[in-house]
Amino acid sequence: MDECYTANGADYRGIQNQTSVHAGRPCLFWNETFQHPYNTLKYPNGEGGLGEHNYCRNPDGDVSPWCYIAECEDGVYWKYCEIPSCRMPGNLGCYKDNGDPPLTGISETSNKLTIQTCISFCRNQQFKFAGMESGYACFCGNNPDYWRYGEAVSTECNNVCFGDHTQPCGGDGRVILFDTLIGACGGNYTSPTSVIYSPDFPDTYATGRVCYWTIQIPGASQIQFDFTLFDIRDSTDMVEVLDGYTYHVLARFDGRNRPPVSFNVSLDFVILYFFSDQINQAQGFAVMYRATKEKLHRDITTVNQKFTEVITEQANLHINAAQSSKILYVITTSPSHPPSIMPEWTVYGLTALLILTVSAILAKILLHFIMKSHQEPSSAEIGDFHQGTTAGEIWSIFYKPSTSISIFKKKFKSQQDDCNLLVGN
């Protein structure tokens, strides 16, 4: 891992093997430094990332990764490594103050200064940035041009914090800057990717913490979580991943149930919850999330089937979650992507239209046969017709397509008004 998620790079597992990328001193192999305190003979199981290599590491919890070198200067046989990629998210870098600090808000000094005490001080005063200088000075501000005096290499900000000798707190005329969101107890995240730290990070989290972070990315098909750091030792201290819509617990991690390297949640709205009791404290956690958006084209039947299966699976998992503390992963489908279901009124409308069409066709066929059966009769038939009817009366046939055929007698006003073809000359 080339990136770092701790303030002092203790988690660095990259392959830089010289003190600087450009013209740096070559590092000695850790399995050849038996004359020094840190070597593979003393730490044979890979503690601190040591091994049969000469990569920069931080096995003793110093302020940044380092390595042994062959040529010692003034009795010093090791040097810090300048590693550009080893900067925890939220660490904005090391900057020059030029006699005037880059942050012009408020400031304070403390002989117990740590990164988080300075960040908390600035965050409580509604400032976006916090800077530490010379191990004891804290500066706050909202200056967007904090880089105006120039950026310095990270090793120039490696003065230890007076309150914690494992943390870097700037240097002489150098200010290390941080975003004040680091170590906040709760927050709202809408960006496609970011890193969330446990409360009070990089200090150990305090007791009695109850924190919520919302992660909502509209249109996302899933959110991937990577716990790059997880140091919770108490079984009652926990991190939970919740469905942002139903608040059901999707996953629970604690000192006994550690999170996997990576896992996905098929939602676009997730809540991260943290709880600590009144007993133990630890480093905490750092989790990176990434939201992805995918366009899925499926058959309606397949979608409905999958949706039903997911609902069933979700209900079963919710029951299991209530009965045990097992870890659950990838639980639900996204409420932002409901399946395509045809409305009921559309089905009824189409059925009615089909019935009307069939009825009209049958009526037309029936009318056709009736008209053919009543062609013009012969003279004999006309005579017989007159004998069978009284004078002045004829039969008329009226056809109503919407109902039925009616046959009844109709009297005309007079014989002169009769123009029917059925009447003889």
Q: Does 202 sit behind a cis peptide bond, omega within 30 degrees of 0 on the bond before it?
A: yes
Q: Is the pLDDT of residue 334 over 50?
A: no
The position carrying tokens 């010289």 is 18
Checking if the pLDDT of 340 tops 90, the result is no
Decide: 224 and 252 in contact? Cβ < 8 Å. Answer: no
Task: List the structure tokens of 199.
Answer: 């409360």
How far apart CA 326 and CA 314 sit, in angstroms, is 14
- Rounded CA-CA distance 123/223 in Å is 28
Rounded Cα–Cα distance for residues 200 and 6 (Å): 13
With H, G, I as helix, E, B as strand and everything else as coil, classify residue 102. coil
Angle at 391 between CA 388 and CA 397, to 5 degrees: 70
Check if the beta carbon of residue 48 is closer than 8 Å to that of residue 33: no
11: number of Cβ within 10 Å: 18
- For the segment 299-328, the average pLDDT, to the nearest whole number, is 41
Burial class (CB in 10 A: 0-12, 13-18, 19+), 214: middle
Per-residue confidence (pLDDT) for residue 387, from 0 to 100: 45
Mean pLDDT, rounded, for 135-147: 94
Q: What mean pLDDT value characterizes the chain? A: 80
Q: φ and ψ at 271, to 5 degrees? A: -115, 130
pTM summary value: 0.65
- Write out the two tokens for 18: 């010289």
410 pLDDT band, cuts 50/70/90, is very low
Alpha-carbon span 254 to 275, nearest angstrom: 10
Share of the chain above pLDDT 70, in %: 74
Rounded Cα gap, residues 281 and 163, in angstroms: 17
φ, ψ at 128 (rounded to 5°):
-85, -30
What average pLDDT does range 76-86 have in this prediction? 90
pLDDT reported for residue 1: 62
Read off the pLDDT band of 320 (50, 70, 90).
very low
CB atoms near residue 30 (< 10 Å): 26
What percent of the chain has pLDDT above 90? Answer: 60
Tell me how crowded residue 70 is: count the other CB atoms within 10 A of its CB: 9
pLDDT at residue 363 in the model: 81
Residue 22 has pLDDT above 90, yes or no: no
Nearest to 173 by CA among 189, 190, 159: 159
Higher local confidence (pLDDT), 362 or 136: 136
Q: What tens digit of pLDDT does each residue of 239-266 get?
A: 999 999 999 999 999 999 999 989 999 9
Cα–Cα distance, 184 to 193 (Å, whole number): 17
In this structure, are strands 269-275 and 210-216 parallel, antiparallel, or unpaired?
antiparallel
Q: What is the pLDDT of residues 210-235, one digit of tens each?
A: 999 999 999 999 999 999 999 998 88
